[in-house]
Structure 1
Amino acid sequence: MRNPQNPDQSALADPALLDKIDKLFACNIGEYISLPQLVVVGGQSSGKSSVLEGLTQLPFPCDSSLCTRFATRIIFHRAKEYSVRKITASILAGSDASPEKEATLQEWTWDKDGSFDPSEFSHVMGEVHSLMGVSSSPGNLKPTFSNNVFHLEICGPDEDHLSVIDVPGIFKNTTPGLTSKTDMQLVRDMNSFSQVCLEIIKRLKSRKQALKDLGDECVTPEQQCSYLLSVVACFQELTSHGLSSNYGTDDIFNSHPDLRLATLVMNRHTLFADNLSVWAHEYKFKTETDMNNSNGGQLDLFGGTPPTSENEHLAGSNEPIKYIKTRKTANMEDLAEVIHECTKEVSPKDLGIYEWLTNVFCSSHGFEMGTFNPSLLATTMRKQSAKWPNFMLGYISDIITIVHWFILTALEVACVDQRVSRRLKAWLMDNLLSKYQDAIKQQCQVTRIQAQLAPKVLGDCKHGKVIRLCNISAVHNKGNTRHTVEDIHDILQSYYKAALKRFVDNVCMQAADYYLVNGPETPTKLLCSLFVNELSAADLEDIAGEESHVRHLRARLIKEIKDLEAGKKILL
């Protein structure tokens, strides 16, 4: 009975408020947030069933294997339109139920008009046990408890607005007058019922964010294909900006320097050309200063101090660097099959080029007078450019490493799911290695052509200034060998400069730029829409399919969001 003198009791028994709470429980909101409730607790055989039977006037069975295996929610409504009790039973699936199990449980209903005896109620509870799949007798392999809820709704002309929940060891009852002092806070919480709405909205927002963080659903082949196409679009956009030096379009280029592809490649181009011009010849050529400083008509083949470059000295030291490394990037485990190890190339010999040329000439000349065999140029050029292949292999290995780092970094940025990113990399790796090997083969082909064919320059090659003979103040008498060796030196020097420029251009343009960076079939073009469209359903599942725990988490979040949305509608 309600006491009009007690406003708290009146608020507690407010039918509209209790009805909203019942609806929230029916939507499983109680699974996610704490709803206002009164609780009756007790151990086994402490009289809970007797209390429950006295409150509900239902013949609850005493067999603990029935009532305490799962929660039982009983809702009473006063309905004047009914002449007798109307009882409706259903099952609310727990939050951990699969979609198939949830559909099966929701299909089951049972209703009856009037009262029923204990045997009939026991039969209904047994049927519920079977549907939920819980154990009804000791010794079987079925689970002992279930998260599903047995829902009873009882309407009648003489019923009170009452909600009772029976769980193993705990009962919840919204009837006033049955609480102790420790339960008063729960009553006060009911007076602040608006907090429930705020809590639902807050949790709904967090659950939606958690679902968003999982990314797009990738269950069907269509969803998986769509997801991979979005990854491809982002990857190609990064590639386009990286190749065009358009770094201001996205802050990602500031946080990931490896994406500045054009800059990294161009810097390596320049360094390759500089290293070749300073380090790639076997002997340093004589300069005009060296010639002017030679002693009259004497054969000063070893005299003079060769010029040095800043690049040839250690920082803060006057000692010349003895060697240079041909690689500038670190090794990558992925590329162990294709790239070449770093080599150390010694600095060119400062002295001895005339002695070497004299030995070559004297060991191979024939009956020529005042001239030399043209094959000597090919012989000396091959010796003078012997370091080119190692510099070339170091350069192309660095370009491959730069491109590969770009692909891996862009793939990680475009695909936030690291698992999918790793699988895409695994699928692309064989084709990437094939592209890299093709580039190295092309480089080696350029080097072989340079080494095997006879020296040839098409077009005029003018190097240095032209000096008129009449302006020469002193003419030194020189022997035939000296004249010939100097001619060989000058011709070799002129051809070496022209051949070096041509070699650098061919290596950078043909092998590196065409095969690795800007060509029509570069490694960065492997990840494209055509690649995705050619994947079978099994391939799509292997690359982009969701893991089982992600699917379960997504299903749980979707169900929770659905329940919270329903609860929000009830309150608003």
Structure 2
Amino acid sequence: MQADETQAMNQLQSEQSRLLDKIDELRTIGVGGFVELPQLVVVGAQSSGKSSVLEAVSRVSFPTKSNVCTRFATEVVLRRSPTVKMKVLIEPGASRTNAEERQRIRDFTPDSFSNTSDLPNLIDQAKQRMGITDNMHGFSDDVLKVEISGPDKPELTLVDLPGLYISESEEQGAEGIRIVRELTERYMENNRSIILAVISAKVDYHLQNVLNIAKQFDPKRERTMGIITQPDRLERDSEEEENYIRYVRNEKVSLNLGWHVLKNRSYEDRMASHDVRDEQERVFFDQGRWASLSREFVGVDSLRRRLSNVLLKHVRRNLPDLIADIQRQIEVRQKHLERLGPARSTTQEQRGYLLAICSNFERIVGQALNGMYEVEFFRASNSQESDSNNSQDFRRLRAIIRELNECFAEAMEIRGHRRCIAGTTHDVPPTDSKVLSQPYMEGWTPIKISRKKLESEVSEQAKRDRGIEMPGSPNQLLVGSLFRDQSQPWEMLARQHLLQCWESVKYFVGLILQHLTDEHTHSLLYGAVLLPELERMKAHLMEKLNELASHTKRGHPLPVGSSFLARIQKSRTKRQLSSLKSNLGRSSDSIQLTMDDLTRALSALDLSRDQFAAADIIDQMQAYYDTAIITFVDNIATLAVENCLLAPLGQIFTNQTVNAMDENQLKDLAAEPPFVHEDRCRLTNELGKLQAGLQTFSVLGTVPRSMSRPPAFRKNLAPVILSSTIPP
């Protein structure tokens, strides 16, 4: 039975080591610069006992003088192995941008050693390689990596950060306060960091703000563990001692990962062995109030086990999301490299680069105009070109143009007539806030006029404009004059609509280039090739508008077809019946009338012949207006938008365009500037790191542990269990 337990423990430790080694491998090859990696981060104020915690957990004495661990982050890698072995490496920080300098830092690879007394000397050598001296006031973003393996080492990786401080001195200035705080917050901000907040019992808890800083980034206290040091500095049976015991019991400040307490070496015992140190700690916690605490939360032995279990569970829990993050970062860089295109130093390569872009451009434009949104461009994120108040996707051009055409037709119906004539088809229609908020309704205020007042105006105008018409007949030119006055808004609305469509097309073209090319090529192609073509299309649109609107500003109405006559007849009949009923003084259709009643009513009609002439002019104008507005709206949508804007769009950047370019044009547009070459090299390097990082997980069996049938076909069956090397 004991042999089985030993075998199970060895298997667990082996798996634990493999998982943590893979995370360390990601950090070593640089994946940590692109995705957040799971880690244990040791944070606390200076002199809070952070170094003592590391020393107790690792059983290795770290240097505690000359501010060794206060100028840079130290990554401590602990692994279990039959033999003792140590190694010191340096990972250059992001601030070192010079390639030779970064390589010089990485070249610090002294031989591994087994004597722990050599560690301080190696760390001093590493400091010199990083350019850190005892007189240095600043901090470095290089990471010192100390790998320690041995039979008594736990499976752990910890990152020790410089200690926080708030007071300036000759050695540590105000700038250091800011740098250490920012470095600490950067590590805490990583959602995959377990925060080990070290609190010294010799200082009042309320004077130590490390947990307050941690709460900013872990508000639910889900990934923070508190570690109390120097409990022997408290007065035995004092109120302060009771308070810290309550912290350990998770009663004062509740943390999801709980608390732990360690006893540090005293100054007198600083040279004692690790075994002696551990024995003194056990004796201390077996006395007084500390004996009432569960052994799970006191002492370094249980802390090693707790940290190993916490880190292992944390890595398991984050592994699927970590792999997904790496895959996303790979896709981002692959797409960026696709936009940069292949290297292009020769004329042939430059022409081929542009031909590939224009081929994709034509395909995207064709699908957009046909409303067949199949290529990847239409599936791309729309977050850059939309905000919370505007969910329109300008990539789907046909949908945008159709919506604009509908808005234009609706606006023409509502505000196409200059004056709203009460009681007619030109009256103010009922509109809701949605209609009034559409782009062509902005600033509209209806001008209202009654039918009676308009008839009076027309009568006066008819008297002034009498010509050679027969007595009792109106001058037919009045119909054209009244129509031109009433249709004044048409050209303004049409111009607004065409410019809106053109702007949408212009933006759509920019989105295509943004998708297909890098920023440098985008700006060159857009400015030199596409924008001039778009401006010509805009000028053609305005010419077409002038042509379509010219007849509404001059000339005489010339209706064609029976619809105009039908509208006139309907309006006349309705108006005459209404007037006859008014003269009869009857409102009901079922009352019997005598011939005398009809004679009097008809006589009254004859007496108001001038009024009826004015009314007839208004009827003719409205009948022609209602017929002409339909034709005008259709012409704007087809002859202008379709023929002058959308149809030429697929021809503005084609193979013929590229093939017609000379060598100088090709060089200006497609030659690769130095920064593009640098971007390609950088992206290729980052992509290689990420792909290597993804490859490190291939041996871990990252297939999901169970698969269920799809909901539509699910039966009451047990899930299929798949084999995996990762325990739940």
- Structure 1 length-normalised TM: 0.52
Pick the structure with greater CA Rg.
1
* Equivalence map 1:336-355=2 (5 Å): 342=444, 344-347=446-449, 349-350=451-452, 351-352=455-456, 355=459
- d(CA) in 2 for partners of 1:144, 1:271: 64
Q: Does 1:109 align with 2:109?
A: yes
- d(CA) in 1 for partners of 2:637, 2:672: 32
- 1:519 pairs with 635, 639, 643, which one? 643
Counterpart code for 2:645: E
- 1:394 pairs with 479, 490, 493, which one? 493
Whether contact under 8 Å (1:95, 1:556) holds in the other structure is: no
- d(CA) in 2 for partners of 1:341, 1:499: 27
Offset at 1:381?
2.0
- d(CA) in 2 for partners of 1:541, 1:74: 44
Q: Does 1:312 align with 2:427?
A: yes
Q: 1:241 is matched with which residue?
A: 371
Q: Does 1:272 align with 2:412?
A: yes
Q: Percent of aligned pairs with the same residue?
A: 8
Offset at 1:353?
7.3
Offset at 1:97?
8.0
* Equivalence map 1:61-140=2 (5 Å): 64-66=66-68, 69=72, 70-71=74-75, 90-92=89-91, 100=99, 105-111=105-111, 122=121, 125-131=123-129, 133-139=130-136
Counterpart code for 2:549: T
- d(CA) in 1 for partners of 2:614, 2:57: 115
| SS of residue matched to 2:645 | coil
Deviations, residues 514-540 of structure 1 (Å, cap 9, x unaligned):
333x22524994998769999957999
- d(CA) in 2 for partners of 1:129, 1:51: 23
Name which structure has the greater RCO, CA cutoff 8 Å, separation 6+.
Answer: 1
Offset at 1:162?
4.8
Offset at 1:109?
2.6
Structure 2: segments with no counterpart, 5+ residues: 164-197, 199-228, 230-261, 263-273, 283-294, 343-352, 374-378, 383-389, 394-398, 570-598, 659-665, 702-724
- d(CA) in 2 for partners of 1:50, 1:484: 111
Whether contact under 8 Å (1:443, 1:507) holds in the other structure is: no
Q: Does 1:566 align with 2:571?
A: no
Whether contact under 8 Å (1:280, 1:387) holds in the other structure is: yes
Deviations, residues 448-479 of structure 1 (Å, cap 9, x unaligned):
444334666789998257xxxxxxxx9x99xx
Offset at 1:146?
3.6
Cα distance change of structure 1 residues 128 and 495 upon mapping to structure 2, 3 Å threshold: same
- 1:381 pairs with 475, 480, 485, which one? 480
Structure 1: segments with no counterpart, 5+ residues: 80-84, 154-158, 244-248, 285-306, 316-323, 466-473
- d(CA) in 2 for partners of 1:394, 1:66: 74
Cα distance change of structure 1 residues 129 and 271 upon mapping to structure 2, 3 Å threshold: closer
Deviations, residues 150-203 of structure 1 (Å, cap 9, x unaligned):
4478xxxxx85757989579999xx99948642415326758997476235234
- d(CA) in 1 for partners of 2:640, 2:401: 15
Number of aligned residue pairs: 467
Q: Does 1:148 align with 2:150?
A: no
| SS of residue matched to 1:148 | strand
Offset at 1:96?
9.2
Q: 1:302 is matched with which residue?
A: none
- 1:199 pairs with 312, 317, 320, which one? 317
- d(CA) in 2 for partners of 1:519, 1:342: 30
Offset at 1:390?
1.9
- d(CA) in 2 for partners of 1:267, 1:361: 39
Whether contact under 8 Å (2:483, 2:625) holds in the other structure is: no
Cα distance change of structure 1 residues 524 and 342 upon mapping to structure 2, 3 Å threshold: farther
- d(CA) in 1 for partners of 2:634, 2:564: 24
Offset at 1:483?
11
Whether contact under 8 Å (1:221, 1:537) holds in the other structure is: no
- d(CA) in 1 for partners of 2:462, 2:314: 100
Counterpart code for 1:128: A
Offset at 1:272?
3.2
Counterpart code for 1:33: P
Whether contact under 8 Å (2:91, 2:143) holds in the other structure is: no
Cα distance change of structure 1 residues 267 and 493 upon mapping to structure 2, 3 Å threshold: same
- Structure 2 length-normalised TM: 0.43
- d(CA) in 2 for partners of 1:494, 1:204: 74
Offset at 1:93?
5.6
Q: 1:301 is matched with which residue?
A: none
Cα distance change of structure 1 residues 541 and 213 upon mapping to structure 2, 3 Å threshold: farther
Offset at 1:415?
9.1
Deviations, residues 497-550 of structure 1 (Å, cap 9, x unaligned):
78647743553244343333x2252499499876999995799999xx99xxxx
Counterpart code for 1:513: T
Cα distance change of structure 1 residues 444 and 139 upon mapping to structure 2, 3 Å threshold: same
RMSD: 7.3
- 2:21 pairs with 19, 23, 28, which one? 23
- d(CA) in 1 for partners of 2:314, 2:644: 61
Offset at 1:222?
1.7
Cα distance change of structure 1 residues 455 and 135 upon mapping to structure 2, 3 Å threshold: same
Counterpart code for 1:129: K
Offset at 1:397?
3.1
Whether contact under 8 Å (2:419, 2:486) holds in the other structure is: yes
- d(CA) in 1 for partners of 2:94, 2:48: 26
Cα distance change of structure 1 residues 512 and 393 upon mapping to structure 2, 3 Å threshold: farther
- 2:565 pairs with 463, 468, 472, which one? 463
Q: 2:633 is matched with which residue?
A: 508
Q: 2:242 is matched with which residue?
A: none
- d(CA) in 2 for partners of 1:46, 1:271: 74
Deviations, residues 348-376 of structure 1 (Å, cap 9, x unaligned):
744347734651454xx4xx6969999x6
Offset at 1:94?
6.8
* Equivalence map 1:155-554=2 (5 Å): 162=153, 178=278, 181=295, 182=298, 183=300, 184=302, 186-187=304-305, 195=313, 198-199=316-317, 201-205=319-323, 207-208=325-326, 211=329, 217-218=335-336, 221-222=339-340, 237=367, 240-241=370-371, 259=399, 261-262=401-402, 265-266=405-406, 268-269=408-409, 272=412, 308-309=423-424, 312=427, 330=437, 342=444, 344-347=446-449, 349-350=451-452, 351-352=455-456, 355-356=459-460, 358-362=462-466, 365=467, 377-378=476-477, 381-394=480-493, 396-397=495-496, 439=541, 442-453=544-555, 463=565, 500=625, 503-504=628-629, 507-516=632-641, 518-522=642-646, 525=649
- d(CA) in 2 for partners of 1:63, 1:261: 72
Whether contact under 8 Å (1:443, 1:511) holds in the other structure is: yes
| SS of residue matched to 1:511 | helix
Cα distance change of structure 1 residues 414 and 46 upon mapping to structure 2, 3 Å threshold: closer
Whether contact under 8 Å (1:407, 1:524) holds in the other structure is: no
Offset at 1:149?
1.1
Whether contact under 8 Å (1:280, 1:385) holds in the other structure is: no
* Equivalence map 1:30-41=2 (5 Å): 32-33=37-38
